[in-house]
Structure 1
Amino acid sequence: MKISAINAWRMLQPFVAGPYRMSKGRHADSFDSVIVSITSDDGVTGWGEMAPLGTFYSAAFAAGAEAGVAEIAPHLLGQDPRALAQIGRLMDTVFKGHPYVKSALDMACCDLAARSAGMPLVTMLGGRESDTAELYKVVTHGTAASMADHARRIIADGFRRIQVKVGGDVHGDIERVVAVAAAVPVGTVIFCDANAGWTPFQARQFADATRQIDYAFEQPCGTIEECLSVRRIFAKPMVLDESVQSLQDLLEIQRTGAADGVTLKISRLGGVSRTRQLRDLAVDLGLMVTVEDTGGAEIDTAAMAHLSLSTPEERRLHAIAFHEWVTVRTASNAPPVNGSRMGIPDGFGLGIDVLPELLGVPFLDLSASR
């Protein structure tokens, strides 16, 4: 089996609920997605997607992904898409760094490999550990009153897990979290996510003022060392997200005891293959794990669901349904959501039936026969 064709699209995916707001005025109105299809010489097609959250969340940006995919794709023609490790090494050889550029290409190869083997991707990723994963919803940054109202609506919809955005003015965020905690039932799982927005000084201020609230602290500061300095005076669970960019980062987190759990983002790590590698190691090291991405519609959400459901349930934190965030569709089906839980689509590979006519005009149309 050899790769015979690669196509790629760039697709704007506006948010259903309007702007997504984080601290310090950071916000986005949509995902700017890059979608890739890879077709083998025997007619099997796999799909991949990556979508950064604006240009402020990480080093990834859609224009960079578009340019990088076009640079890498010609080198993949004629390669065996099932040889995932070889594909990964080849991409690293011809295009140094920029893992987010490679993410959709790797995802498409994983999808194609599982489809050609006649199995769902979850099986290839280690096996299905449960039928569904529990979802969380985000309380985006705003006034204390608006965030409390938002949290009440989420709970009224049947969700038991919320992520509260903090990381701005410390005293304002203390007020916001106190209001949210008072607005939801006892036992609601609360994550306070600063998105690396604070110095250790600020994070300690927040931690000290909120000791009576039951929550997990997510990525208070920018580096592992800074987060560890906060953790040393902090009795609550800590999860790191932005700090997990490589295998070396994961090992450092475990060696120093910097966190109890990690959030692994597919595009940040360079695709499904490397996310699976870090996921398996994190599980073996005894860490709690969330697998998600920076954004995307049905394709990327399906990959997140397959990785989540092949994570042992006792080590899985939660998942998120990004395809429900956006106003556009990319496929005739989607990862099924029932209340506050998400499963995976029936079928081989990702199980997603992508409709190319929904994607617009491809920016890349590459064939080995041309």
Structure 2
Amino acid sequence: MKIKSIKAYHVVQPFVDGPYRMSKGRVADCFDAVIVAIASDNGVTGWGEMAPLGNFYSAAFPAGARAGVPEIAPHLIGQDPRGFAGIGRLMDTVFKGHPYIKSALDMACWDLAARAADVPLVTMLGGRESDMAETYRVVTHGTLDQMAALAKRIIAEGCRRLQVKVGGNVHDDIERVTTVAAAVPKGTVIFCDANAGWTPYQARQFADATRGIDYTFEQPCTTLDENMSVRRMLDKPMVLDESVTSLGEMLEIYRRGAADGLTLKISRLGGVTQTRLIRDVAVDLGFMITVEDTGGAEIDTAAMAHLSLSTPAERRLHAIAFHEWVTVRTARNAPPVTGSHMGVPDGPGLGIDVDPGLLGQPFFEIG
């Protein structure tokens, strides 16, 4: 089986609930996605998607993805899409760095290979560990009343896990988290995610003032050294997200005992191949794992779901249903969400029935 053609589409995906706000005044109105279709010489097509959260969240930006795919794609024509490691090495050889650009191409190869084998992607990723993964919802920055009302609405809709955005003014964030925790039932799982927005001084201030609240601390600072300095005085679990950029960085986190859990972003790591590798090693090392991405709709959410459900249940933290965040559709079906749980679509590969008519005209095509 050989890659015969590649198409790339640009799809803007506005948020259902309006602007997404996080620390340091960072705001996004939409996911700005690149969707890739890779077709083989036996008539099977695989799909991949990646969408940076603005220009500020990761070392990635939408225009860069759109410019990079045409640079890499010609080198993949004629390659066997099932040779995931070889495809990855080839992309790294012809285009140094920029893993986010390679993510959708790598994802499409996995989808194509699983469809050709007539098995769900979850089977190729290690096997289904459970039928559904528990999801979390995000309480973004806002006034105290806005955040409390949003948290109550999320709980009323059946979700039991909240990620509360912090990382701004410390004293304001102390009030925000205290207010949200008081507004939701006891036992609600709360993650306080600073998105690397604090100095160690600020993170320690926050941790000291909120000792009475049950939550998990997520990525308070930027560097591993900074997060480690907070970890030493922390009496709560810590999860790192932005710090996990490669297998080497994950192993350094393990060596230093810097975290209890990891959030793996598919596009930050360069696609499904590296995400699966890092996930499997991290599970063996004892980490709790969340697999998600920087954004996307049905295609990317399906990949997250397959990776989540092939993660051992006892090592899985939670998942997120990004396709429910956006106002546009890219497929005729979606990963099934029941209450606060998400599964994988039925069918081979990602299980997503992508509708090219919803994507517009491709901005790039070769083959």
Q: TM-score, normalised by structure 2?
A: 1.00
1:160 and 2:163 equivalent?
Answer: no
Structure 2 residue aligned with 1:332: 332
The alignment partner of 1:35 has SS state of: strand
Query: Structure 2: how far apart are the matches of 1:282 and 1:349?
Result: 24
Q: Give per-residue Cα distances to partners, 1:277-313, cap 9 Å, x unaligned.
A: 0000110000000000000000000000000000000
Q: Give per-residue Cα distances to partners, 1:57-94, cap 9 Å, x unaligned.
A: 11111110111100000000000001111000000000
Question: Displacement, 1:209?
Answer: 0.3
Query: Structure 1: how far apart are the matches of 2:124 and 2:225?
Result: 35
Question: Displacement, 1:319?
Answer: 0.2
1:306 and 2:306 equivalent?
Answer: yes
The alignment partner of 2:32 has SS state of: strand
Structure 2 residue aligned with 1:14: 14
- Unaligned runs of 5+ residues in structure 1 are none
The alignment partner of 1:181 has SS state of: helix
Q: Give per-residue Cα distances to partners, 1:119-178, cap 9 Å, x unaligned.
A: 100000000000000000000001122111111111111111000000000000001000
The alignment partner of 2:38 has SS state of: strand
Structure 1 residue aligned with 2:279: 279
- Unaligned runs of 5+ residues in structure 2 are none
The alignment partner of 1:275 has SS state of: helix
Structure 2 residue aligned with 1:264: 264
The alignment partner of 1:191 has SS state of: strand
The alignment partner of 2:308 has SS state of: helix
**One-letter amino acid of the counterpart of residue 218, structure 2:** E
Query: Structure 1: how far apart are the matches of 2:261 and 2:24?
Result: 26
Query: Structure 2: how far apart are the matches of 1:307 and 1:317?
Result: 12
Q: Give per-residue Cα distances to partners, 1:222-281, cap 9 Å, x unaligned.
A: 011111100100010000000000111100110000000000000000000100000001
Structure 1 residue aligned with 2:46: 46
Query: Structure 2: how far apart are the matches of 1:351 and 1:158?
Result: 26
**One-letter amino acid of the counterpart of residue 167, structure 2:** G
Structure 2 residue aligned with 1:255: 255
Q: CA RMSD in A?
A: 0.5
Query: Structure 1: how far apart are the matches of 2:28 and 2:263?
Result: 21
Query: Structure 2: how far apart are the matches of 1:145 and 1:249?
Result: 39
The alignment partner of 1:185 has SS state of: coil
Structure 2 residue aligned with 1:85: 85
Question: Displacement, 1:25?
Answer: 1.4
Query: Structure 2: how far apart are the matches of 1:239 and 1:97?
Result: 25
Structure 2 residue aligned with 1:61: 61
Query: Structure 1: how far apart are the matches of 2:225 and 2:312?
Result: 28
Identical-residue share of aligned pairs (%): 78
Query: Structure 2: how far apart are the matches of 1:21 and 1:197?
Result: 13
**One-letter amino acid of the counterpart of residue 3, structure 1:** I
The alignment partner of 1:280 has SS state of: helix
1:178 and 2:178 equivalent?
Answer: yes
**One-letter amino acid of the counterpart of residue 134, structure 2:** E
Structure 2 residue aligned with 1:199: 199
Query: Structure 2: how far apart are the matches of 1:159 and 1:40?
Result: 41
The alignment partner of 1:344 has SS state of: coil
Question: Displacement, 1:118?
Answer: 1.1
Q: TM-score, normalised by structure 1?
A: 0.99
Structure 2 residue aligned with 1:218: 218
**One-letter amino acid of the counterpart of residue 311, structure 2:** T
Structure 2 residue aligned with 1:135: 135
Query: Structure 1: how far apart are the matches of 2:61 and 2:110?
Result: 23
Query: Structure 1: how far apart are the matches of 2:307 and 2:94?
Result: 27
The alignment partner of 1:37 has SS state of: strand
The alignment partner of 2:105 has SS state of: helix
Query: Structure 1: how far apart are the matches of 2:334 and 2:284?
Result: 31
Structure 1 residue aligned with 2:106: 106
Structure 2 residue aligned with 1:231: 231
Query: Structure 2: how far apart are the matches of 1:37 and 1:15?
Result: 24
Structure 2 residue aligned with 1:359: 359
Structure 1 residue aligned with 2:316: 316
Query: Structure 2: how far apart are the matches of 1:339 and 1:61?
Result: 33
Structure 2 residue aligned with 1:288: 288
The alignment partner of 1:11 has SS state of: strand
The alignment partner of 1:235 has SS state of: coil
Question: Once structures 1 and 2 are overlaid, which stretch shifts more, 21-30 or 289-298?
Answer: 21-30
How many corresponding residue pairs?
367
The alignment partner of 1:205 has SS state of: helix
Query: Structure 1: how far apart are the matches of 2:346 and 2:222?
Result: 39
**One-letter amino acid of the counterpart of residue 300, structure 1:** D
Query: Structure 2: how far apart are the matches of 1:280 and 1:198?
Result: 30
Query: Structure 1: how far apart are the matches of 2:301 and 2:23?
Result: 25
**One-letter amino acid of the counterpart of residue 37, structure 2:** S
The alignment partner of 2:317 has SS state of: coil
The alignment partner of 1:217 has SS state of: strand
